[in-house]
Structure 1
Amino acid sequence: MKVKRYIASTSREALRQVKEELGEDAVILSNRKIRNGVEIMALADAEMSNLVQQDTPAPSLSSLSRHYESQNDFTEAETYSKRVPENPLQQPSLHENDSISATFARDIIAEIQAMRTTLEDQMATVAWGNFTQRRPDKVKLLRTLLDCGFSPLLTRHLIGKLPEDLDYEQSLKQAMSILTANLRTAVSDDMIERGGIYALVGPTGVGKTTTTAKLAARCVIRHGADKVALLTTDSYRIGGHEQLRIYGQLLGIPVRNIKDTEDLQLTLSELRNKHMVLIDTVGMSQRDRMVVQQMSMLRNCGMEVKRILILSATCNGKTLDEIISAYQEGGISGCIITKVDEAASLGVVLDAAIRRKLMLHYVANGQKVPEDIHAAHSRYLLHRAFKSSPKDSAFTLQDAEFALIMATKGEAETLSSMGQAIAGLAYD
């Protein structure tokens, strides 16, 4: 490790010497005033990287001592003298010397990393302050989007899409236009018109059975009860099969219970003349290994089964991302958002649908069959997401809290790259 010592009459002159010899990425270890001016101890960035990454033993005590003595720096030498026994008859062994050297090197690395972290935090705070002064309208829009439930990732990239010369109202209107263009929605009642075999999948408690009944009712109204069939694989949940059977009786549709892949294959073969076959699957955690087995059964039944993922609007963003990742591996044809009437804001679930590029078919907002299910319309849903933004929630950040959270290392790095839009984000 080659620590360089620079002495000059002023700090500016000393820093100029450091930049000329070590480059702009040099690490400043110390900066202090001396009788003749200013003393700066610096280390080349490459030396620092090698020191952090190497797993080999640190330099020996003697080599480090000679280095610091040659540099006339006594601070670290005094530290060594405290660790080495004063009695010459009790000098440490070579192994002990290496251990002391390694400990000292680790201490230096820890101190340098702490200094770097402090400087990065201070620079991030300054960067955020400059950003708020230069683009106050964009900061206001940033807060609006976050309060509506949209993720910081999508929000930052969305703001990066907007022209610099727009005020808040213009930026908000443009942001809603971009979000509308990127929220993929199916043609109204496309599933009912096309027909086919659909399996409703998703975690427990999101309303798969009720949604299955709602879709069946819409199809019965359009094509008749003799063109619709209901299947269920839910033999685990108490009353799950009976609940769907009751809906089937009200609609005049028989409900069949499916046990395994072979049973599903045989049943679907018998139902080829049906316009629509709806399969109500077992609800299970996205972390359950049985998710893979369930998707495998639907994929290997000998016929094309389109998987429709049911998402609850009441879930938080991280949970939605986990659910989508778990079910997307098996392939999904679209999604339906349920419990819209129970959600404080639609921003979270719409954000997930936009980022994961899901095709949204329907939204459900209650328990009534078939009234409480509607075709998805992107403009209406986004308008509702912004309109229902909570203003006095316990989770709403105050101005000081918002500035403190945004002025972090991660936010500062992303603020510097706002011009790069999220991959595939359309601009309209």
Structure 2
Amino acid sequence: MKTFKAANSTAAFAKVKADLGKDAVILSNKTITDNGCKCCEIVAAVEHSPVAPPRQVTRDSVVDDALQDTVGWQREWSQIKGQIMALMKPQIDLSRLSPKQKMAMEYLEREDVNEKVLARIYCNLRDDPSRSIMTALDPLLKATPFEPMNWANKFQAFTGPGGAGKTTSLVRLALKIKKEKPNTRICLATADGGRGKGRLVLKHYAELSGLAFREIITRDDFALLQKESGQFDMIFVDLPGLPGKTTLEEWVHLYGMQNCPDMSMHLVLNPYYSTAQFERFTEKYKSEQLASVIWTKLDEACTFGSILNMACASGLPVSALSYGAGLKNSIKAASEEMVWRLLFMRTMPNGDIQP
């Protein structure tokens, strides 16, 4: 059993994982005062297995060790999948498609739609030259507009990699809903451990807009917010960027949020991450509570195929589209038509054409 202290809970949890490993059990998580400064103290423990005697290295033991190396197998499987897709691509014979279908397929490839998605679309088109490209695309992407009527859960949490625009999207949506329904009681909550620019932005706009503001530093803070949630109609929670190999499931468990059935989580992403990054994000942010994807910084992107790629890989609907530098009138509740106009016509949600 060991005690870990850090400026915030995210840093303390990272220390626990680095020292005791992923099997560590969190015994307590609280805020204390150390030398006049508040910090997070986590007590964690791990049960050590008895040390096994050295075994003789044989062919079978080497195979067993290799089979237990799951990371290596995952990497190898990823390479195999890439090779399979490389073999499939020559089989996508565009000459079997009608001229319109072929033109659409070539356009999607230029927009960085990946081979797996292109193969699915091709299989839906090749047997019917009269089939519209939209008939093949419609089942691949869905939208659930970010509006109170569609998201009944009181807690709406925003997660995603650092710099994706979580805090800005949260503030934009809160201001949009407050403008449309002034009587809505909204609370902005930050879970970044009491540090960082995002916390200051949330607090600033909460004060300017007459919204409540709360800080979540430990799981006790979140439990307290749950108890007082009856005061609010909607609670927007800004989750921190996750360090290292920490997954969303691990972080949510640390703060007791997995026991909150009244919470929906939204993954905030930009269209211009690399394919490898999107694959890592899909694994890192996998959670049963994850309910939608919010796309930000659309006006800075060169292609939009990643929106379709992520929809196919995650099965999550798109809930909001964000663009521009200002906080007002710079986010729209997403619709499928809006996404298709963005992909094929480069039309921003506000009607502007992206060059």
TM-score range for the pair, normalised by the shorter chain length: 0.5 to 0.7
* CA separation of 1:207 and 1:129: change in aligned 2, threshold 3 A: closer
Question: Per the alignment, in what secondary structure is the counterpart of residue 199 of structure 1?
Answer: strand
What's the offset of the Cα at 1:279? 0.4
Structure 1 counterpart of 2:289: 331
CA distance in 2, matches of 1:302, 1:131: 49
Matched, 1:258 2:216: yes
In 2, Cα distance between equivalents of 1:290 and 1:129: 37
Deviations 1:362-404 (A, max 9, x none): 1111232231110112123123212349xxxxxxxxxxxxxxx
CA 1:217–1:354 in structure 2 vs 1: closer, same or farther (change >3 Å)?
A: same
Residues 298-352 of structure 1 show CA distances to partners (whole Å, capped at 9, x for unaligned) of 5345552211111112212331222122212353111211111111111112221
Q: Which of 237, 246, 249 is the equivalent residue of 2:207? A: 249
Aligned-pair CA distance for 1:136:
7.9
- 1:288 alignment partner in structure 2: 245
**1:207 counterpart (145, 165, 171):** 165
Q: Is the 8 A contact 1:192 1:219 kept in 2?
A: no
Superposed displacement of residue 360, structure 1: 1.3
What SS class does the counterpart of residue 277 from structure 1 fall into?
A: strand
Shift of 1:150: 0.9
Give 1:135 deviation, angstroms: 5.3
2:112 match: secondary structure: coil
Q: Secondary structure at the match of 1:328?
A: coil
TM-score by length of 2: 0.65
Against the structure 1 CA distance between its residues 339 and 175, is the aligned structure 2 distance closer, same or farther, given a 3 Å change threshold?
same
Q: Distance in 1 between matches of 2:268 and 2:283?
A: 13
Identity %: 20
Whole-Å Cα distance in 1 between the matches of residues 228 and 286 of structure 2?
Answer: 29
Cα contact 2:169–2:322 (8 A) shared by 1: yes
Higher strand share: 2
Structure 1 residues 237 and 135: CA distance shift in structure 2, 3 A:
same
Matches within 5 A, 1:274-423: 274-284=232-242, 287-289=244-246, 291-296=248-253, 297=255, 299-300=257-258, 302=260, 304-329=262-287, 331-388=289-346
Q: 1:129 to 1:362 in 2, by over 3 A?
A: closer
Contact 2:160/2:267 (CA < 8 Å) preserved in 1?
Answer: yes
Matches within 5 A, 1:99-178: 128=90, 131=93, 137=99, 140-164=103-127, 166=129, 174-178=132-136
Q: Residues 301 and 367 from structure 1, CA distance in 2 versus in 1: closer, same or farther, beyond 3 angstroms?
A: farther
Aligned mates of 2:262, 2:273 — CA distance in 1: 30
Cα deviation 1:46-65 (Å, max 9, x = unaligned): xxxxxxxxx9xxxxxxxxxx
Query: Which residue of 2 is the match for residue 222 of structure 1?
Result: 180
Offset from partner CA, 1:238-285 (integer Å, 9 cap, x none): 322111111111211131111111210112211223110010111225
Task: Report which of the two has the higher share of helix.
Answer: 1
Query: What SS does the aligned partner of 1:213 have?
Result: helix
**d(CA) in 1 for partners of 2:107, 2:178:** 43
SS at structure 2 position matched to 1:255: strand
Return closer, same or farther for 1:130/1:317 CA change in 2, 3 Å cut-off: closer
Q: What is the DSSP-based 3-state SS (H/G/I as helix, E as strand, rest coil) of the residue aligned with 1:333?
A: strand
The question of whether the paired residues in 1 share the 8 Å contact of 2:247 and 2:284 is answered with no
- 2:334 and 2:94 map into 1 onto residues whose CA distance is 36
How much does 1:221 deviate? 2.1
Give the conservation status (yes or no) of the 8 Å contact 2:248–2:286.
Answer: no
* Unpaired runs of at least 5, structure 1: 1-54, 56-123, 390-428
CA RMSD of aligned residues (A): 3.1
Offset at residue 140 of structure 1 (A): 4.9
| 1:182 corresponds to 2:145 | no
State the AA in 2 paired with 1:149: D
How far 1:193 sits from its partner (Å)?
A: 6.7
Q: 1:130 to 1:145 in 2, by over 3 A?
A: closer
For residues 92 and 268 of structure 2, the distance between their equivalents in structure 1, rounded to whole angstroms, comes to: 43
Question: Structure 1, residues 17-50: CA drift from partner, whole Å, max 9, x if none?
Answer: xxxxxxxxxxxxxxxxxxxxxxxxxxxxxxxxxx
Total equivalences in the alignment: 261
